[in-house]
A = this chain, B = another copy of it.
Amino acid sequence: MMITGFRKIFFAFLLLPFAGWAQKLSLVPYVKPLIGTAKMGHTFPGATVPFGAVQLSPETDTISYAVNGKYNGDVYRYCAGYQYEDKTIVGFSHTHFSGTGHSDLGDFLIMPTVGKLQMNPGTADHPENGYRSGFSHANELAEADYYRVKLDENNILAELTASARVGFHRYTFPASENAHLILDLMAGIYNYDDKNVWTVVRVINDTLVTGYRQTSGWARTRTVYFAMSFSRPFKEYGTQNNDNPQVYRGFWRKFNQGSNFPDLAGRKLRMHFDFDTQQDNQVEIKFAISPVSMSNALENMRKEIPHWDFDRTKHEGQALWEQELQRIVVDVPTREDKINFYTAMYHAALMPTVYMDVNGEYKGLDQEVHKAEGFTNYTSFSLWDTFRAFHPYLNIINPSRNADMVASMMAHYDQSVLQMLPVWSHYANDNWCMSGYHSVSVIADAVIKGVYKGDPMAALEACVQTANTRNYEGIGEYIDRGYIPAESSGTSVSNTLEYAYDDWCIAQLAGKLGRKDVYDTFIKRSANWKNMYDPGIGFMRPKMADGTFKKEFDVLKTEGQGFIEGNAWNFSLYVPHDPAGMMENMGGRKRLSRYLDSLFTMHLPDEFFEHTEDITREGIIGNYVHGNEPSHHVAYLYNVTGEPWKAQEKVRMILKNQYHNGADGLGGNDDCGQMSAWYIFSSLGFYPVTPAADEYWLGSPAVNSARITLENGKTFTVRVINQSGKNVYVKKAMLNGKQLKGERLRYEDIINGGELLFYMGSRK
């Protein structure tokens, strides 16, 4: 361990010569974690390293207990724990999703206070009645892996940074004989009365506390272990147990468990640790987490941060971010563009998160402890979102990481008693959120592009097995009838469309592996999208079991129309694997062109927004909904109608309208990096319309130039001639000096290195 620790320091110094930390961070300053923290972006502003297991970030509210099992609608606001317009901070917790539309986590909330001990969070209106504090954005700074805020209530400066598995807190106190650090083990994001299943705390000595928190939330069975180390001894500590009074158990009467008692357990615990402080005394906390055990958490802490140098951890974390961002070095027209770009890269490097200890152990979907052999295990796969552009993006800039993610998905499959690949998995659970079985898209794409090095036959088997889970969301009926009847499901159309695309991915994978039998089965299934198209009205439409289309139908509404997060206007375009067939079905080029024109320009009635999830008014252009994922390929469809210039102007419009530098700079949930990955691809001038197909469709680059440093040591460069806000039209595209035909780029065109040269103009 000493050798490892020494090595780590040694390497850190190699990367970061002592005097040179600051000036080396040329791209990190463009990351603004506060982007997306207002309204529905649902990003968090706190500290984390790329794909780190710890996301140490402030909560402005989360403590929204449900009554009688019905959840408080407000919890949706707090998917990431933070809303920019709020005036108070409740505390700082260690785990956060980035950009989700449902949530969980918020583990281990810590808050510094002085004066009278208050063990409840208080309310936003009356922070003085609890441990929370007012704050002002003027006193707040959020950088990659560093967050700082002054807590007005008690004049405490809070600073946060993190390594992969350890949160590092630094609190600067005023003079007080009553300084406290609150550890709220009841707090959590999307909390219900019964979410806290069990908590254990062991106070090992006056600077070390270990324990775990077990919850049943979005993840049904989830335990996070911790080890918490203080930079100086606390003088006293105590525990508030908010459980109902309990039946006779020896441990309640043998000790006074409220005060200085080290062996705690219960459902609803809050703790305080007390200090005397002089003016500007700092108390620091290292807080490590583990999915496996307290001892692993402690090992994580000792291996990752074997010192008390907060600034060093911050510098090391920011160096990791610099390294991550340096994968693409762009020259863009404005500082705002640069902030958008690198914040998008930042947001596209937060999830999935590392889910294993430094020793490789993690708790699997089967609730057993496993050791990741030969790969880094990840969790929190929001696949309905991320299969579209996020994983394809990693296949270019960081394929080895994406290979590990596929390996993690395969491990999930191996541990699944349902024999299913992940749908929306986190922390040894699948919450089966959203629709489709889009793992197959990610896997097929990674195998076909040569990114995934594991057994491809096993991968194919996992895909086939998943696609044949008859009792999951209508798959049985889909297999039998070629579509899901409207009677069986409220999302019969979108499910059918998504299954059809996923089946095409399986067919591609089978074809690549020479499994013609599987190819034939799934290529046939992939045509099932046709069963949803009603030529009478020109839209995809719910079909009844008897083969007739559902009578009541509104092409503008989302709710109750057979779709999820999208209406018929948007979802009727969801045939990414056969856009030409789709166009033909819809009546040809002109019809599709007119359809797309209408989509982007029509005026929507206000009631449209009442029932549309996860997006703001700003997340919509006409009826085109950029804030939800099903339309992410839509602008590019003008390439099928033979009107690439329309694709180009729409892409540039979306880049400009839907992304900006404010806290409300995202028009909808960032969705674990998918919104950001769209931004990055589209800024570079191309987009993976059909993951698992070996092509990227051209759009209109927003950069002046971009240099992608590939893992294989090669460089792929995008250069743009005549770039300007008006010159959105691509006059010519040259790949390595040869004109590019058909607005398509292949994976090897990129990964083998080279130059893509765009000539822009102001007219189509």
Q: What's the number of copies of this chain in the assembled complex? A: 2
Least CB distance, A308 to chain B, in whole angstroms? 24
| A206-249 residues at the B interface, CB under 8 angstroms | 212, 214, 216-218, 220-221, 244-249
* Interface flag for A203 (CB, 8 Å): yes
Residues from chain B with Cβ under 8 Å of A293 in the complex? 368-369
Q: Known contacts A244-B69, A424-B250, A473-B254: does B433 contact A294 (CB below 8 Å)? A: no
* Interface flag for A295 (CB, 8 Å): yes
Cβ proximity bits A414-440 to B, threshold 8 Å, 1 near / 0 not: 001110000110000011110000000
A367 touching B212, Cβ below 8 Å: yes
A368 touching B294, Cβ below 8 Å: yes
Residues from chain B with Cβ under 8 Å of A218 in the complex? 249-250
Contact of A265 among B200, B220, B254 (CB under 8 A): B220
* Interface flag for A204 (CB, 8 Å): yes
B418 touching A263, Cβ below 8 Å: yes
Q: Known contacts A202-B417, A216-B265, A262-B417: does B367 contact A251 (CB below 8 Å)? A: no
Least CB distance, A419 to chain B, in whole angstroms? 9
Q: Known contacts A263-B417, A367-B294: does B433 contact A250 (CB below 8 Å)? A: yes
| A463-478 residues at the B interface, CB under 8 angstroms | 471-473
* Interface flag for A21 (CB, 8 Å): no
* Interface flag for A194 (CB, 8 Å): yes
Cβ proximity bits A361-404 to B, threshold 8 Å, 1 near / 0 not: 00000111100000000000000000000000000000000000
The secondary-structure label for the interface of chain A is loop
* Interface flag for A198 (CB, 8 Å): yes
Least CB distance, A77 to chain B, in whole angstroms? 16
Number of chain A interface residues as a range: 35 or more
Residues from chain B with Cβ under 8 Å of A200 in the complex? 221, 367
* Interface flag for A256 (CB, 8 Å): yes
Residues from chain B with Cβ under 8 Å of A433 in the complex? 250
Least CB distance, A81 to chain B, in whole angstroms? 18
B249 touching A431, Cβ below 8 Å: yes
- Alpha-carbon separation in the docked complex, A194 to B217 (Å): 18
Contact of A255 among B203, B204, B250, B472 (CB under 8 A): B472
* Interface flag for A640 (CB, 8 Å): no
- Alpha-carbon separation in the docked complex, A116 to B68 (Å): 33
* Interface flag for A171 (CB, 8 Å): no
A70 touching B471, Cβ below 8 Å: no
* Interface flag for A71 (CB, 8 Å): yes
* Interface flag for A44 (CB, 8 Å): no
* Interface flag for A192 (CB, 8 Å): yes
Least CB distance, A294 to chain B, in whole angstroms? 6
Cβ proximity bits A436-480 to B, threshold 8 Å, 1 near / 0 not: 000000000000000000000000000000000001110000000
* Interface flag for A197 (CB, 8 Å): yes
Q: Known contacts A216-B265, A251-B432, A254-B473: does B368 contact A295 (CB below 8 Å)? A: yes
B368 touching A418, Cβ below 8 Å: no
- Alpha-carbon separation in the docked complex, A281 to B212 (Å): 47
| A249-295 residues at the B interface, CB under 8 angstroms | 249-251, 254-256, 260-263, 265, 267, 293-295
* A-B pairs with beta carbons under 8 Å apart, 22 shown: A69-B247, A71-B247, A102-B248, A192-B247, A194-B267, A198-B216, A198-B221, A200-B367, A202-B366, A202-B417, A217-B249, A218-B250, A220-B251, A250-B423, A250-B431, A250-B432, A256-B471, A263-B416, A294-B367, A294-B368, A295-B368, A369-B369
Task: Give 7 A-B pairs besides A202-B417, A294-B366 with Cβ atoms closer than 8 angstroms.
Answer: A192-B246, A221-B265, A249-B431, A250-B431, A255-B432, A256-B471, A261-B471
Those 3 A-B pairs whose CB atoms lie nearest each other, nearest first:
A250-B432, A254-B432, A250-B431
